[in-house]
Chains A and B, each alone.
Chain A
Amino acid sequence: MLAVAVILASNVVAADEFSQEDMQRWQAQFQSVVQTGRSLWVDPKLGGNGVTCAQCHPNAANTHPETYPKFQKQIGRVVLLWEMIDWCLRNPLEGKPLAADDPNMIALQAYITNERRGVPLDPGKH
């Protein structure tokens, strides 16, 4: 009986156990989405008029992901980063907005935040 219990125990997945290998694998998944975000960043087909994010935001500079959520004065309420991205898609890029969970929207945010890594959170900052 004890032997069976031991065998059964070793087949249970231990959720709190993860290794360096796991972390590297998940980081690679993230970086691949960051790369997709970068491709979209320079893609003239993201919007409707050929303008790319990179033309005004090289290396995603001046996007300030660390300040969201914040009151976006121009929208008139507290918003998340993805809503400001949609504003850009609709206005200077004259294109269609993306849903919050659209893989492309996720990729854009992954690229923006990765380029801003190391900057402390400062939610609400104008």
Chain B
Amino acid sequence: MDLDRGRRGFLKAGGALALVGALPVTLMELAFAKAAETFSFAFIADAHIQNIRGNEFVRNWDRGLIRAVAETNLLSPMPDFVVFGGDLAELGSRAELDHGAEILSALRPKLYGVIGECDYYLDLGEYWSKLFGAQWYSFDHKGVHFVVVNSVLTDDDWTHNRWPTPERRMREMALTDNPNGSPLMVGEKQRAWLAEDLKKVDRKTPVVVLSHAPLQKIYRGWNFWTEDADEVQALLKPFERVVVIYGHVHQIQYNQIANISFHSAMATSRPLPYPRSYAQAADTLPKLVVPMNRADPFFERDGTGWQFVNLATGRADVYYNLYNNGPRNVAFNPATSRPEDTTYQSVDPHPLPQQQY
């Protein structure tokens, strides 16, 4: 499918086509061999709504989510549904989840929720579940099998015995570079559920896994990590085409492991540096990733945004809309059997803003 035509077709008339690049949208369009099964969905993640006191919230993060919701609502045709990819709250409080849910409630399409660690560790997902439903589940939509997982569980002892209060536990898990942190995981119980769930899915059916954590082992120091990634990937191995979309990392990442294409989502709130920019750590990001531009903090939305994806024949084609930069497009390349940046993968040297980390 022609991406340009697809993008323009999705915007309501009334503005110049030049607005296409200035109107970021997270949209997953699934286009399979059968045209009747083509559809789109939006993916918004990592809002990190943060309560200051009383009814005051950090305006910066609020604006990021408000913008993503407003732009998603401008899509025409309307996406079939929207996925929120986790970390709606910063510290898991009811005030934050309520404020975030209120902003999300403006979305016209149906909303599916994926839980993040910043939603989970205050009350172990109790209030999240009241607002958004189950923490892991699956659904079928127009010939595609979707699986949603809670990939932010951790060791039982850390979860239940280590910290004196739930508030303390939440703060410890919310701290990205915490030396007292604990690696995220899907866990045995969910893996058993997943194995059972996938039994009824044909090998040729495209599978899309919606997760907060990467379902890979990327950088342990900042919990860009899934401790049981190997086991989860093994459960997905029998399927011809699998795509994993994940949030959590607040930056552009992509990877191919066997039959699974991985694509990260941008955060609406704030970017995170690439792990290579921490001098005391080894660079562990997949080598093929062409980074997003280093964000300019003077533009508070720089380095934030969202993306939309065409899944043609079960392969992902991700269009990243960066608020203050040119768009980026990462698509599956059949010649190399992996996702690649369609503009910059072979450009050498990379433009300066992509190098200066």
Taking Cβ atoms with an 8 Å cutoff, the residues of A that contact B are 42, 49-51, 54-59, 61-62, 74, 87-88, 91-92, 115-119, 125-126
Contacts and interface: CB of A to CB of B under 8 A. Distances in A.
B270 interface: yes
19 contacts: A42-B175, A49-B50, A49-B52, A49-B56, A50-B52, A51-B50, A54-B176, A58-B222, A58-B272, A59-B222, A59-B280, A59-B281, A61-B273, A61-B275, A62-B277, A62-B357, A87-B297, A92-B60, A125-B356
Contacts of A74: 296-298
B58 A61 contact: no
Contacts of A56: 270-272, 297
A58 to B, nearest CB: 4
Contacts of B297: 56, 74, 87-88, 91-92
Contacts of A115: 278-280
A62 B279 contact: no
A92 B300 contact: yes
A86 to B, nearest CB: 13
A62 B277 CA distance: 6
Contacts of A42: 175
Looking at B221, B278, B300, the one whose CB has the most chain A CB atoms below 10 A away is B278
Nearest to A60: B278
A21 B173 CA distance: 39
A119 B279 contact: yes
B50 A58 contact: no
B294 interface: yes
A126 B356 CA distance: 8
Interface string B285-322: 00000000010111010000000000000000000000
Interface residues of B, number: 29
Contacts of B298: 74
A42 B177 CA distance: 10
Q: Chain B contact residues: over half helix, strand or loop, or mixed?
A: loop
Interface string B51-81: 1100010101000000000000000000000
B279 A118 contact: yes
A117 B281 CA distance: 12
Contacts of B60: 51, 92
Contact of B177 (A58, A116, A125, A126): A58
B250 to A, nearest CB: 9
B278 A51 contact: no
A86 B56 CA distance: 23
Given A92-B297, A117-B279, A59 B52 contact: no
A59 B272 CA distance: 11
Contacts of A116: 279
Contacts of B51: 50
Contacts of A126: 356
B58 A62 contact: no
A38 to B, nearest CB: 10
Contacts of B52: 49-50
A110 B117 CA distance: 30
A62 B294 contact: yes
B177 A54 contact: yes
Contacts of A62: 273, 277, 294, 357
B79 to A, nearest CB: 30
Nearest to B50: A50
A59 B221 contact: yes
Interface-centre pick from B48, B294, B298 (highest chain A CB count, 10 A)? B298
Contacts of B357: 62
Nearest to A62: B273
Contact of A49 (B58, B273, B279): B58
Contacts of A119: 279
A118 B280 CA distance: 8
Contacts of B56: 49
Nearest to A52: B175
A80 to B, nearest CB: 17
A42 B300 CA distance: 20
